[in-house]
Amino acid sequence: MARILIVEARFYPHLSDMLAAGARAAVEESGHEHETIAVPGALEIPGAIAQAALSGRYCAFVALGVVIRGETYHFETVAGESARALMDLTMDGIAVGNGILTVENEAQAMIRADPRQGDKGGDAARAALALLDLERRFGAAPNALKAAR
């Protein structure tokens, strides 16, 4: 049994609740344990995962949040930088499922977040678990790539 950390941005709480419900259900269906922590927004998620990974208490991570396009360039910054930072963690050998939605409007987010429709929270959890399975298959340890460089 693995311990999975779900990190959710609470900027849009009603959407985060749906994403988290899907993620928790997917982890529980797989027979693993989970814990959830909240951060203010999508940009804080990678930092929280990096800190938690250093603790050694978790085997995989699920990143959940919603970024809705607004009238400024901020959308591109938040969407791009959060995705880049999560990919950096993944490339360092940390099993991370990216469930940060980047959408044009709230209606798109509602459909994708709802566990009965898009279930992107569940998809992110299943992605993290798939990476964890690969880590175990290949005998890799988190940060093994970073240490080898």
Task: Judge whether 14 counts as a catalytic residue.
Answer: no
Among candidate residues 14, 32, 34, 74, the one labeled active-site is: 74
Tokens representing 129 are 């678990």
Instruction: Check the CA dihedral 38-42-48-53 and report its sign.
Output: positive
DSSP string, 21-33: HHHHHHHHHTT-E
CA angle, 128 then 89 then 3, to 5°: 40
Name residues whose C-beta falls within 8 Å of residue 71's C-beta, 6 or more positions apart in sequence: none
DSSP 115: T
Point out the residues that are catalytic: 74
